[in-house]
Structures are given as structure tokens and as C-alpha cells.
Structure 1
Amino acid sequence: MRRSYIKQGDRTTSGATVNQGIKGVSHRGTNVSFLGAEIYCPRCKSTGYLAGIGPRHPPTWMKQQPALHDDLAICKCKPTPPVIASQNEMFESYGIAYLAKMGFAPNGDALTRGTQIAPAMLSISDFESDADAEPGRVPAPTNKGSFDCSYLDGSKGRIDAPADLYKKRNPVQLIPGKQMQVDFPSGESGPATKYDAIINGQTIPILVPLQKPPVDTALAEPRQIAEALGKLPDQNLPNINRVVTNAAANPDDAKWAAQYGQADFYSAATANIQQGVAVYPWHGWTGTIPQRYIDSTMVHETAHQVSEALRSADPGMRDAYRDATSSDGQAPSLYAQKNLNEDFAESANMYWTSKGTPCEEQGRTRYPARYQYFDSISG
């Protein structure tokens, strides 16, 4: 079986155009495209992205996984249109044994449920950072309902569960405090208001700059952060020493943009145990950011701290998680494909939001090894 590489400018069956390619990787002068590349669909008049489906080889180019003929263009069109390769000179080929090992029939069809999305985790790079960056979000319509489980099917840019799945777990008391000078993770220094969120006897400072964020951006409000803290699983709380909102961008955004091959990348938040959780201005938002996205961000970021604590206590826990991702094959979101740290945070978000709901069965069917791993660390 062969699958040709997609190039920038190729089209989907709906007429959508692939707008991005991998710089430095080309075929006859045109850049080869990649999973996550932006597409614009004139039929549904929406901007979307390429998502992997079917068999593929692990290697990446310039830290991007190339897109292949018949990958999907995620836009508003239903059914989801595939993308069509304009050339047949540059391709991947797969033998029958390789296809069977990856869970595919000789024609590329999935042999079992849950294997159809590309096994992109095979190509994951274990890029380490002091503070893993979470990408910003584009404002989008509200969710369809409490048990719309499509958020964990592997085709979405990131894990953002329906709002009702971020359930209140602990009461939170928010106490406004005094003004103080703060050295912000953004690299700036200035006055801030310190709030204290009290949860189960634990006090978590929330530091909010007096400086306003740039025009056409928005910041999470202290009451929203406090509410999100009350929705965290208990195991995520002990590692949080503070939450800091920033009026300026993450100074490491250029590094992440280069690492991810995404020129317009910006951080919505970062976290590690020493720094705490840092929240940055969100681009393109006006007014109040929906609580759902603040909840999602806090689960994701504090999961980075959980992962860091596990690795510190037992380095073998990282190997165990890597084994789980390899066993499952597919990743729960496109962002989870970036590296093992982001996979952990995205999978934690999926695990905790689906647990005890009808979505849990779907999650366990698609990602059995990840769910078993989180079962083992959740007590």
C-alpha cells in the first residue's frame, strides 16, 4: 500500500486548500504539508486543520509529521472531507506485515475500533522544558452538550471537554489581599493584587497584575481561576504553590514556535512546580473567557506538575507512561502528539473529565493503556 505526501496548495474533496507546509521540505519546489496545518474550506466557510488517519510511518521532518493522501480536513463540513495528494512521486509504502502490526488491513482500513486515527505517538519527541507551554485557543462556539464525547476521539486540536464535565470537587473561598510588587513569569515586574484561594485548608495565592493586557486579548479573572481550582482532582492540588496571571506574553514563545514549527504559536499558560501556574493573555478574545476553557487549562497545567512530581519520585514512571502511549498507538489530541509531556497533560484532562460519565467507556476503548496508567496513580 502507498500513501502520497500532501503539499501546500493541495485540496480536499470539499475544495478546501492546504495553506501551510514544512519549511525546508519540498517536492518540485512546493513545501510538503503536515498534520495540524491550516486549511480553509470555501464550502462551509471555515478555517480548520489537517488530522491524521490511517497507517503512516513514525519519522518526522523538521519536528512535523507529514500529511498523507486521505488524511482528514477538520472543518465544519459533514462528512469530514479527505485531502487529496496532487502528486504520486513522493510517498510512503507499507508491507502487509507492517500494516497488520499497526492494526490495519492490507487496504489501510482499521482492523479494530480505535486504530483508525494515525498512531502518531510513535513519532513523539521527548522534548523537556522547565515549563511546558499550552497553546492559545481561538474563540469557538459553545459545546453541544454534557455527553458529546467527540472531544476525546483524537481528531481535535486539543482536549477541551464539554463544560458540564468539569465538575466541582471542593469548595473554594476566595479572599482578596493586599497589593504587592511581583516579578512575573513574563519577565516584567510591577504591582499586583494578591488573592488567596483556600481549598481543603490549602492556601493558593493568585497574583493579578494591575497592568491591563494588550488590546484584543483577555486574561482569566481571579474568580474564574478559583472556580477552576475547585474542580481539580485532589492529587493535582499539593504541587500548586501559586497561580500568576501576566499582562505580557510568555518570553519563551519564540522557542516554542520554533519547536512546534508554528510561527503564530503563543502560550495560554505554562506550569512547573517551582514556577507555579502562569497564565498569559489570550489572543482574539474580548470580554470574559468562558469558564470551560479556564477549567481545561488548569487541569492541563497542573497535570504537568503531577507528571514532574512522579518523575522526581520515580524516574521509571516516565518510561511506564511512554510504554502506555506506545501500546495505545493513537494520541488523544493533535497537541498531545507534540511530545510526551503534552500527551500526559492532555490525557489527564481526558481521564478526569470522562471519569464516571458515558465518555469514560469510549476513552477506555480508545486508550486502554493510558486509562490503566492513570488508574494506577489516582489512588
Structure 2
Amino acid sequence: MNCPKCGTQNPDDAQVCTSCKSQLTQPPGPTETVQVKTSRIAIASFVLAILSPFAFFLAAILGIKTLAITSIFTAMLALILGIISLVQIGLSAGRVTGKAFVSIGIAILAVFFSLMFLQTVLPRTRSVAFRMVCGSNLSGIGRAMLIYANDYDSALPRAGGRDTIWQPKINNWKADNRIDAFGLKRDGTGGSATISSSLYLLIKYAEIMPKSFICDKETRSTEFKPAKYGVRDKEPEAFWDFGPEPSKHCSYSYHIPYCPYPLSTASSDPGMAVAADRNPWLDPSTDTTGFKWDDQTKTGGRENIKGYQKGNAGPHQREGQNVLFLDNHVSFEKQSFCGVNDDNIYTYWDGTDIRQGAPPVISSQPADKLDSLLVNDPPLNNSK
């Protein structure tokens, strides 16, 4: 190293010239201080990520839709700001921090969006699963009806006698014979029978089990077990109905057999509805007020359903009903007017619009052989 003052050659590591004693190297200057700051965008993202789920669940409790929608947009904004802050931090060469805020915020949002997804999807998935089980029950009932019809001259199950009338309770469900069970005269005429007692013939003669008549979506219906009513020494096929309260043990409606137009596999139209979920007009838990087949407007309140859905069965959120047709296929129908010629399967035709019809009562009858009228026994304290 040459001295810049006198030109003397000095060792490379010398700091002072050996000749003139001049300083050969400059002392290090003051170190530049780098100021590190936390990203305000990251902080904003973190705060919004905390507020959004809180606002959403508060909206769910209070039933405020606008607040729920706002919370979702807030969560999306928090996610966007989090991404922007990560880019900012990455380009700052260590001058900006805040990754911890972003990481925690994104974790909160991930949990929030997951809960929202589960809240939306799981009930729907469960609903579809219940619908499929219910449809499977009706398929089994349909197969049993074919077996029964094959043994009884193509006629579908009909309890009682030739001119038995429909009543919500039979004479004696534990009777030893048909005469006593339905209160028939000795010549087999007269008497009364329930809708469920006709279906119960499938248990007696077609080897179907009582649990097949329960829709899992109907929490108030339970499988018929004779032991519940104090009978423990007989099998279910020994009886004539689903106990003393049949409406509690049968979830399905059935085309009324006590009428001039009972169904037959030999002579009835294959498009006739045979059985389905409960008739909403005979189900106290289902509100049919305001039903109109062509009404697409939504009602307010907790149900928030369209006017035509007021005519659908209750168990499947009024979205429709599983229906068994005479050709033995089962389908989930979104409207109740799914019979022959758009006939409403839950009402009887009163000469007006066939898709609307008139609500049934115990004494109702189909208008003709193409008028499906699926009914079920109302609760004993609600019979009409």
C-alpha cells in the first residue's frame, strides 16, 4: 500500500505510514440505522379477521341478514388485505414486519370459512340423506304392495269390509279376527278402519317391518313396538293396526281405499300416486295457509317458502315429497300437483283447478278414478 502523502510503500495491513506517520485508512463512519415498522395493512387485516366471525355469529343469533352479509364481505376484505401485506413485507427487505398478524388473521378466516361451509352444506347433505332413506322406505312398501296385489286379485291393501268407512281409530287393534278388529257385521259389511290399518296389512301378509313406515325426518313418529302398549307375547303381524295411536307410528299417506275408486294394479292408471309423505292438510305441524299452486312469491317469517310449497309435505323442509306411483317407481316431487293430468295428490278435485283442489277431511272422497287422494290418519285429538 502506497502512502497517499509521501508515496512510501507500506505493508498492506499498515494503518500508519512508516515514513511520514500519516494515517493510511479512514476510520469507519457511523453505522446507518435501518428503521423497522409493522405493516398497518397487516394490522387492519388482523382486526377485520377477528371482527368478521364475531359479527356473523351475532347476526345469526339476532337474525340480522344485512349484518351477516356485511361480515362475509369483511372477511373477504381481511383476506385481500392480508395478501397485500404479505407482498409488502416481502418487498421491504426487512424494513416492514407483520407476518404474525397476517398468519393469525388467515388462520381465523380459515376456521370461519370452514364453519360457514359446514353450516351451509351439512344440513343440506343430511336433508338429502333423509330424503333418500324415506324414498327407500316407499320403494320397499311398493314392492310389498305388488306382492299383496298378486295374492289378492290385483287389489292394493284395503282393511275392513266391503263398505267400511274411514275413521281415525279401529275397534280393536289387538283382536283375534278381522270382524272384531274393525267392528264388522257377521256378513263382513259395515265397520270402520284407519288409513294405517290398510298399510298394516303389508306387515301381516307381505312380511314388511314396522320400521319401514317411519320417515327418519319425522322426529315425532316412532317405530311401532307392541311392548310399548303392554303386549310382549305376540309378533307385530298378529295385530291389525299400529297400536291405539296409529298416527304416531306411520309417517306416510295412502290413496284412500274406502271409496268408489280404490287402486288396482290391473285397472288403475299407472301414473296414479299410491303413497307419499304425510298429507300437509292432515298434519297439525304443517301450515298450509295461503297455498296456491302457481304462487312463486316467498312468504316472510321463519319458513320463508314460496306459496306453492305450502301444499308440500312438512318433513323435507317443504321442498317436496317422496311419492310412490302405481307403476312402482318412487320420485321426489317438488310440487304436490304431480298426479295424472297434474292432479294434486293431497287434495280432492272439487271441479275447480285440478292442481289446487280442496283440502281433505275424514269424509273426503276422490272425484273420479284419476283423482289421487293421499291421506293419513290425523292425531286422535285432532281428527275432523
Shorter-chain TM-score above 0.5: no
Which protein is richer in strand relative to its size? 1
TM (normalized to structure 1)? 0.24
- The structure with higher relative contact order (CA 8 Å, sep 6+) is 1
Which protein is richer in helix relative to its size? 2
